[in-house]
Homo-oligomer: A and B are copies of this chain.
């Protein structure tokens, strides 16, 4: 059996997560039992939700046990199979975790999904045509439910979720305004993704400045907001929201590192008769086939051109993950494992 590098959660963060919270170990992969499949991971997905799992506090996900392999989405190929539905060489998406190989029970529901890389590059099944894309679709379509002509704002707009939100909203005839960090990301958002405008939050680092920028970019007010970041940007959006605006709360990365940031004026929820709704994409799997079909077409047709930040080798995963929490990635953060 191949030697298998793995990254474990060694200890829980005190405030900000650090590289010392993780530990790299090397083990063997166990021999396959009947019904099991050995997968060699090509890419590991790094996602903000992982930060929540590192804490021991209440979250929507079970917390990550100490001393065990960090949870994470992976895409790879079947190296060995004792399950009739999977053959050596099959390309598969799963939740293999922060390691080079995983042994998977082929019958576990949703554990392994075969994918086809002829139209869509394999890595995109961890991004635009995977969990982040489906998350974008569920929040936009089911919660914001935008009508043509409405204005939709998306934070973390150059990221895996945000880029898909924007392209899906453009496809529905909306004015789409992104928020991203830095001129490079903003250029990508308007130039390659086709958003109508993009606000650089580094140039608008406080409530008043962001509120002004939103006013300018959204002359008709804001009807929908896809929330990936939390903090003062949500406060600013509420100041520019139209009556009956909808906010899909998908992430609040700004608080993942411990500090909780208040919402300054919740009375605006009443004044604007707004809806704020938190959700996680994996709790709405019934919409994934429809979502992934639309996203696959948008990628194949070139309308959605996902960016990726790719770290090389498993040992680079902790630093890449910490960078993701600070917004240092540009697009979907991956770790290439082969």
Binding site for B on A (CB under 8 A): 52, 58-60, 230, 234, 243, 249-252, 255, 260-267, 269-280, 283
* List of B residues within 8 angstroms of A59 by Cβ: 271
Q: Do A262 and B260 contact each other (CB < 8 Å), given the known contacts A270-B278, A274-B278, A279-B273?
A: no
* List of B residues within 8 angstroms of A274 by Cβ: 277-278
Cβ of A144 to closest chain B Cβ, rounded Å: 13
* List of B residues within 8 angstroms of A263 by Cβ: 262-263, 266
Residue of B with least CB distance to A280? B273
Q: B279–A252 contact, CB under 8 A?
A: no
Residue of B with least CB distance to A57? B271
Q: Do A266 and B234 contact each other (CB < 8 Å), given the known contacts A275-B277, A278-B272?
A: yes
- In the bound assembly, the distance between CA atoms of A269 and B275 in angstroms comes to 11
- In the bound assembly, the distance between CA atoms of A58 and B271 in angstroms comes to 8
Q: B251–A270 contact, CB under 8 A?
A: yes
Q: A267–B243 contact, CB under 8 A?
A: no
Q: Tell me which of B234, B270, B275, B283 contacts A275 (CB under 8 A).
A: B275
Residue of B with least CB distance to A256? B267
Q: B273–A278 contact, CB under 8 A?
A: yes
Q: A276–B276 contact, CB under 8 A?
A: yes
* List of B residues within 8 angstroms of A52 by Cβ: 271
Task: Pick 22 A–B contacts, CB within 8 A, sort by A.
Answer: A52-B271, A59-B271, A60-B272, A230-B267, A234-B266, A249-B266, A250-B270, A251-B270, A260-B265, A261-B266, A262-B262, A262-B263, A263-B263, A263-B266, A269-B277, A270-B279, A271-B278, A272-B278, A273-B280, A274-B277, A275-B277, A276-B276
* List of B residues within 8 angstroms of A58 by Cβ: 271
* List of B residues within 8 angstroms of A269 by Cβ: 249, 276-278
Q: Tell me which of B270, B276, B283 contacts A60 (CB under 8 A).
A: B270
Residue of B with least CB distance to A255? B267
Residue of B with least CB distance to A274? B278
- In the bound assembly, the distance between CA atoms of A261 and B269 in angstroms comes to 13
* List of B residues within 8 angstroms of A255 by Cβ: 267
Cβ of A286 to closest chain B Cβ, rounded Å: 15
* List of B residues within 8 angstroms of A283 by Cβ: 273
